[in-house]
Amino acid sequence: MKMYLISDNVDTLTGMRLAGVEGAVVHQREELKEELERACANPEIAIIVLTEKFGREFPELIDSIRLSRSLPLLIEIPDRHGTMRGENFITSYVNEAVGVKL
């Protein structure tokens, strides 16, 4: 099983290629949709890594894949500019999921 990166900048792709992860750079919604479809159709790809920007700008596209498929797993990572998530993102995520305040 392989990982595949879909990024909005070349720097992230270059860094991931150094780690052996192939990928593509896209900028528009239609490009992202086509690349996601291509990656989802490849049975060797188990994890698709996306930059956070796509999750913010096109949540309906990302969520539709997450809800309709068990594989590949879609993961959002920060790009070279850092994360846009809040300081206590993990804690609030667990609180929401479990319903228990940590």
Q: What's the pLDDT score for residue 56?
A: 84
Closest C-alpha among 41, 2, 38, 37 to residue 22: 2
> What residues does each domain of the chain span?
2-98
Domain 2-98 indexed as CATH 3.40.50.720? no
Q: What's the pLDDT score for residue 100?
A: 63
| pLDDT one-digit tens code per residue, 74-90 | 988 887 655 665 566 55
Enter the tokens of residue 92: 């609030």
Residue with more model confidence, 91 or 44: 44
Which helix (H) or strand (E) is 43 found in, with range?
none
Residue with more model confidence, 50 or 85: 50
Q: What does the alpha-carbon distance between residue 92 and residue 54 come to, in Å, rounded to a whole number?
A: 21
Q: What is the pTM of this model?
A: 0.76
Is the separation of the CB atoms in 42 and 23 below 8 Å? no
